Amino acid sequence: MRRFLLAALMLGLPGPLAAAEHRLAVTPSAVTVETRLLGDADGETRVILPVGAGAPRVFGARIVARSGGALALSARSGARIAVRYAVAAAPVMAGSQVFAVLADRHAEPATLTWTRLPRGWRSLSDLEGAQAVEADLPRATLMAGPNLTVVEDGAGNRVATHGDAAAARRTLALAAPVLAAHRAYWRREGPSLIALTAPPPPSAEALAETLARADVLRVGAPKAGLAEALTEFLAVRLALRSGALDAPTSILRLDASDRPDTPVGRLTLWLLRLDDELHLRTGGKADLDDVLLRMRQHHDRFAPGAAPDLETAFISAVWVTAGLDVRPDLARHGAGGRPVPLPETLYAGCLIARVTVAPAFDAGFDVAASQAARAVRGVKRRGPAWNAGLRDGMRLDALKLSPGDTTREIEATTRPARGGRARMIRFWPYGDAVTESRTLAAPSRPPVPDCARRLAGL
């Protein structure tokens, strides 16, 4: 494994600091980071080191308390402070592995500077070219190495890898539309970076799902069921907006998600219904996209780890966006296990929910006992087997049956109990109960010119 060092050396503290400075220098063996900041107005500055950081060295302040990686520093207001520490290295590093968290400063500007690289090495971060704040640092991606390859398309899309330029170019061609749709969805500017550390994503649709999964972590602490449902909703949105999916294919994917026996399946369908309801309720001014955007904006106001959980953030954002209390529905269809009723059509008729009602499977006799005894057992009076002429005690020479399948007849080859000619008895395994199944489908004649845009929330 290629390893690299992000090291920062304190070379004196020049002039007043307009923002915290995170200075990085690279050598091949270990990671050292130096953060320069000004002391808080109350005389106590709090810094939280990343997990795994070694013993820190502090300049310009005294450590007055320490609990794990959390440091309380004593220094006068506006004093220039530097905190230096070491962490483990890797070819690709998440910002949370590298940067300290400055307590109560998550919205303040932050700068990243690479101060030293070994000869022939190159470095890269997705913070470069962006106006970063402290809250952006834990979510950053950092790369450095002697064979770091970066390909870009001039439209703000970059793919970086250690060595395999051909894979990077293929990934960029596949990813560019998805990354553009991703930036537009979150209404942000600046370059997009993919750090390629594994085989490239097999498709643009798979990349959209990967981005969606990371995005859901940016709007609230994960909550089982709801997090996966939001990921599926957002992945389909990004895939539609980038052209990775068309309307009929996206509906097939959503239909596969319609599993009423799982919380994720129920909540995914509930989100579709809620998205359409928000659109209608607000006269087209808002939908679930606006809810997610509000959640992200709210989440970014908090220090890492301090934001509300996903469910709380979601409930609040829906209420603020449309004045709708979704707590009862979320409880009913999530942990409550209740299936999600859908109207016949959603999204102005671009999605149809077809419900098929059919009789439940009922053989009308005890199949297992009959096969074991090679004689008919347990015939239900007035049931399908009884009505076809099957009776207890008949010899059972052969039985053809597909358990649970009401589209195939049951065939039983029988003889009288005391012997005689064989007779074939055939009947449909229709019980008195009924079952309902739902299929999501695209209309044969789309009601609007571009259902893909409607389904994508555009």
* 35-39, 128-132, 149-153, 179-183: range with lowest mean pLDDT: 128-132
Average pLDDT for the chain: 84
Rounded to an integer, what distance in angstroms lies between the CA atom of residue 206 and that of residue 211?
9
Burial (CB < 10 A; 0-12, 13-18, 19+), residue 26, is buried
| Helix axes 288-299 and 263-281, enclosed angle (nearest 10) | 100
pLDDT for 419 equals 81
- What's the pLDDT score for residue 236? 92
Q: What is the pLDDT of residue 7?
A: 25
pLDDT in tens, 14-39: 344 457 889 888 888 777 899 999 99
**In the prediction, which pLDDT does 254 show?**
85
The predicted model scores a pTM of 0.72
Average pLDDT over residues 347-376: 86
Q: Predicted confidence band at 436 (pLDDT cuts at 50, 70, 90)?
A: low
* Distances 47 to 69, 104, 147, 187, 299 between C-alpha atoms, Å: 8, 10, 34, 31, 20
Per-residue pLDDT tens over the stretch 215-233: 888 787 676 788 999 999 9
| Better pLDDT: 197 or 21 | 21
> By the 8 A CB rule, do 158 and 151 touch?
yes
Average pLDDT over residues 47-70: 89
CA 4 – CA 145 distance, rounded (Å): 6
Lowest mean pLDDT among 246-250, 356-360, 396-400, 402-406: 356-360
pLDDT at 40 over 70: yes
